[in-house]
Structure formats: structure tokens, C-alpha cells
Amino acid sequence: MDKLTAMQTFIRVADAGSFSQAARLMNTPKTRVSQRVSALEQELGVRLLERNTRSLKLTQAGENYLEQCREIISAIDNAEHNVRSDVYGARGHIRVDMLSPVARWVIAPRLHEFTALHPEVTLSIISNDGLANLYEDSVDCAIRGGELKDSSMISRHLCDVRIMLYASPAYAATLGGDPSVLVGRDLITWLSVDEHNLLWSLRRENEELLLRAADHLYINDHDAALTHCAAGQGVCPGIGIGARHLVNTGKIVPVFEGWEFSPRPVSIIYPSRENLPERVSLFVNWVCKTFSEAERDINCISNNCHP
């Protein structure tokens, strides 16, 4: 039995939640995937997975072994990358998942700076507003907004962005100075928590307003939502750097002066601080530096990139 391959297969099965999905991800016959895990269990003398017709569940031994397998595989990967780096310098491929506004307005305009510094490192940028599974989707790191809920991930805080409300000049003219007038009006949102039931918590100094709405338009893309807003179709939240081009061209204006959402933290996350491949570490550090230099453009409340 090739124990290393068996351990890698066990990790894939555990992350995928099924032998079938793991086999598809690995482009390997399902029977071979099952045989590798069974051989590993036989070698260890313990059951790692509880199997039934509908799902898989890790045993307690399986959970403990899975964590150790991850550390071993990560250590091997890191050793290989370090050896290559000693000879060739930083090289290899990085797969990054990030928020659409961050990709479009912060990273893409400056990405040539990173590639010039590290020409042997190649990148794939996946731009969306859904949270990727870093293990299952083979993502090296991700840039995300909101609080980090997965404690198994390492997070470095990049900044806290301001989110204000915007409308077209014509639509803004129909509004007063108090956001309570938005009840029953046309509301557009890209915030994922608002997909089914909108709940906006707005603040101005010591004042707070909770706005609820069941009838609203949800668009899973910050820039698309603001573009629809610019067509005079309602009021929409916006991040400063993503809204600026529409503000500068007079297509939207801020509304309800002083009223804002709570600052939204933006972080870069990755699976492990230890044994992080050099190419990923370089990219993470470059992202932190980029956010620090672009703080004014992003319209951050704070920029505090730290481990």
C-alpha cells in the first residue's frame, strides 16, 4: 500500500463527504478510492469512517487521524516547495478566491506588480461572493468580508470598509434625510445575508435604525447591484472603491448623510500558518501591503494587517 497516496485519498473523501464526489475530484475510479481507504483502515486497525447508504461520518479516531494527515501532507508539500525555492526561487501556482469588488478594484489593477516581482509564480483568480471551501476547491487562500467563522482557518485582517447607501440623483431627490422613509421603497442589495429577508442595521453617531423588508431585489454581485441602482431603480449599499466610478460620473450619489452600516472587516484566510508554501506566503504579504497602500482608495475605516 502506498500510504501517502492513501492518506491523501482519505483527506479528499473526508472533505468531499462521499466516495463518489472524492473520486470525481481526483479523476479516479470510485472503487479504487474506496480500496485505498479500506486498506488504510486495515493497516491502522481502526475504522476511520462510518459508512451508510446516504452519507459518511468520521469516527473519533478518523477525526484525530485526519488532522494529523493534513499536517503530514502539508509538511511534505512545504519541504518540496522549500527545496525547489532554494534552487529556483519562489515558483508554482496559486489559486485565490476573492470578493468581486476586491478583485476588480483592488487586486486586478495592481496584480502586475506581484507578477513582476515573482515571474515564476502563476495565479488563478476566482472572483465571486460565495465562500469557497479551501480544501475541497483546492484554493490556497481567499479574501472575504465579514467575521471568520471557521476556526480551523488562519485569518489576517486587511481593513474595515465603509458601506453607505446610494441612489441615482433622480431617485435620491424623492428621499428625505431619514432612512426610515425607505420602508416600502425599492431596495437593492448584494449582501448575502439579505437574500431572503433584508435586514439593514444603520448607524449615525449614537443613533441606530433597523430596516426590515421582505420585498427587495437581491443581486449576488456588488457592481451589478450598483449598476442597477444607477439606472434609477432604487437604493443600494455600496463599498467606497466600488461605488466611486459611478459617483464620479454622476450616476449615483450617497444618500442619508451620516448614516452607514457597521464597518465590514475584510480578511485574507488560508488553511495553515505553519508549512505555508513560500509562494502563498509571498502573495499573502503582498496583498497586505497592497491594502495598506490603497487604504485611501478603498475608503477604509482602519487598515491593520497582522498575523
| Of residues 29 and 131, more confidently modeled | 29
CB distance 49 to 22 below 8 Å: no
Instruction: State the pLDDT confidence band at 149, using cuts at 50, 70 and 90.
Output: low
CATH code given to domain 3-85: 1.10.10.10
Q: Could you tell me how many residues make up the chain?
A: 307
pLDDT digits (tens, 9 = 90+) for 78-108: 777 666 655 445 778 899 998 888 888 889 9
Write the class of the CATH domain 163-261. alpha beta
Confidence (pLDDT) at 92: 85
Residues 6+ apart with CB under 8 A from 85: 91, 278
User: Which pLDDT band, with edges at 50, 70 and 90, does 296 fall under?
Assistant: low
Nearest Cα to Cα of residue 235 among 252, 222, 221: 252
**pLDDT value of residue 29:** 92
Instruction: Report pLDDT for 77.
Output: 76
What is the predicted pLDDT for the residue at 306? 45
- Residue that has been written with the C-alpha cell 447508504 in this structure: 53
Domains 3-85 and 89-161+264-302 share a fold: no
**Could you give the C-alpha distances from 242 to 106, 237, 267, in angstroms and in order?**
9, 10, 17
Instruction: Report whether pLDDT(307) > 50.
Output: no
At residue 58, φ and ψ (nearest 5 deg) are: -70, 135
Angle at 175 between CA 172 and CA 176, to 5 degrees: 125
**DSSP 8-state code for residue 53:** S
Distance CA 45, CA 48 (A): 9
For the ranges 46-50, 73-77, 130-134, 240-244, the one whose mean pLDDT is highest: 46-50
- Sorted by where each begins, the domain ranges of the chain are 3-85, 89-161+264-302, 163-261
Mapped onto helix, strand or coil, the DSSP state of residue 51 is strand
How much is the pLDDT for 87?
A: 47
Residue ranges of alpha helices (H) inside the chain are 3-16, 19-26, 30-44, 60-88, 100-102, 111-117, 169-172, 222-228, 240-248, 278-293, 295-298
Architecture of the 89-161+264-302 domain? 3-Layer(aba) Sandwich (3.40)
Q: How confident is the model at residue 256 (pLDDT cuts 50, 70, 90)?
A: very high
Q: Quick one: cell of 213?
A: 423588508
Instruction: Name residue 27's amino acid.
Output: N
- Sign of the dihedral through C-alpha 69, 94, 13, 10: negative
